Amino acid sequence: RKEPLPFLCRESLSPMGYTIDQLTFYAPAIPHLQQVALLDTAGTSIEGMQVKFSQYITAPFGGTFMVHPTKVCVLLTLQGSELLVTTYRRKDQEGAKDENGFISIPDSQVTDVIRSEEGTFTVFMPGEPFSYGIQGEEGPTKVKHLLIVLDES
């Protein structure tokens, strides 16, 4: 039997840090972690949210951000450590959406860097560009995380 994950919150998260009590509001996947753990990369829809599991090796930042114009996104790191970066919101954040509703922003300046470690989460508000999967000073590492996109309610 596996022990429950030790969910931590960094008070210094930029742009916003949240307490554990607030995590269940922003990420209702938490009570469903056993079900979510069985996900493949195709993802699933669970009670008002889209959940996608990813595992990969971190790499240098490729210069492209993603933004969801209308939904809150929660990135929950299950294993490993990676850097997340954000950039300024731009008026030209319109364009073709991918199958998950995200718009790519290929050329913008990094404004904040966040270290996401096992058991931590970061909330990105609608219209807030971000990128993940970026290696830190330690070099490439294996990461597993959930990207949770909350449906409008």
Contact predicate 58/135, CB 8 Å: yes
Q: What is the pLDDT of residue 83?
A: 94
pTM for the full predicted model: 0.73
Average pLDDT, integer, range 98-113: 87
Greater confidence (18 vs 27) lies with 27
Greater confidence (99 vs 4) lies with 99
Segment (H or E) for 150: strand 142-150
Average pLDDT, integer, range 124-131: 91
Q: What is the pLDDT of residue 14?
A: 38
Cis peptide before 129 (omega within 30 of 0): no
CA distances from 79 to 54, 86, 128, 143 (A): 11, 21, 24, 5
Amino acid making up residue 24? T
Q: What is the pLDDT of residue 121?
A: 82
Whole-number Å distance between alpha carbons of 117 and 74: 14
Average pLDDT, integer, range 124-153: 88
Average pLDDT, integer, range 87-96: 73
Question: For the segment 56-83, what is each residue's pLDDT rounded down to a tens digit?
Answer: 999 999 999 999 988 888 888 888 999 9
In a 10 Å sphere around its CB, with 0-12 CB exposed, 13-18 middle and 19+ buried, how is residue 39 labelled? middle
146 forms beta bridges with 53, 76
- Residue 102 pLDDT > 50, yes or no? yes
Q: Is 24 helix (H, G, I), strand (E, B) or coil?
A: helix
